[in-house]
């Protein structure tokens, strides 16, 4: 497994348009990607700031760290073996392999790796 990279912070919102407007007008963050009314990725420089409603948030109501790794399954297994837990996965979605986990203190993490095309 290659060294994991923190790539994204996922925040909860109940109003995606309002949250996008807030981060754009307050901090100048531009939208990199938007998926309907439930998910948006904003340009936070080296880290993407994601805004998600309960429909698309991995653990609604929590701040979740997105970590890119070459081996999602091994990362999730390591978390579980060391006092954390698996919420969902590992599984494949349309674009990547993912696992939603929490660490030994209850902090949310999403491990992901792009699927080979």
Q: Where are the domains of the chain?
A: 5-114
pLDDT of residue 3: 86
pLDDT of residue 116: 82
**Chain mean position to CA 11:** 9
- From CA 72, how far away is CA 90, in angstroms rounded? 7
For domain 5-114, give the fold. 2,3-Dihydroxybiphenyl 1,2-Dioxygenase; domain 1 (3.10.180)
Enumerate residue ranges in the chain where pLDDT < 70: 1
pTM for this entry = 0.88
Do 78 and 96 contact (CB within 8 A), yes or no? no
């Amino acid at each position: 497994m290659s060294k994991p990279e923190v790539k994204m912070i996922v925040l909860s919102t109940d109003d995606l348009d309002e949250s996008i407007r807030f981060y754009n007008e307050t901090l100048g963050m531009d939208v990199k990607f938007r998926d309907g009314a439930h998910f948006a990725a904003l340009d936070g420089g080296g880290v993407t700031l994601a805004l998600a409603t309960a429909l698309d948030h991995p653990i609604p109501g929590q701040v979740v760290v997105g970590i890119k790794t070459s081996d999602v399954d091994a990362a999730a297994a390591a978390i579980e073996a060391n006092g954390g837990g698996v919420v969902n996965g590992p599984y494949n979605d349309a674009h990547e392999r993912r696992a939603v986990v929490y660490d030994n203190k209850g902090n949310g993490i999403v491990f992901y790796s792009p699927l080979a095309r």
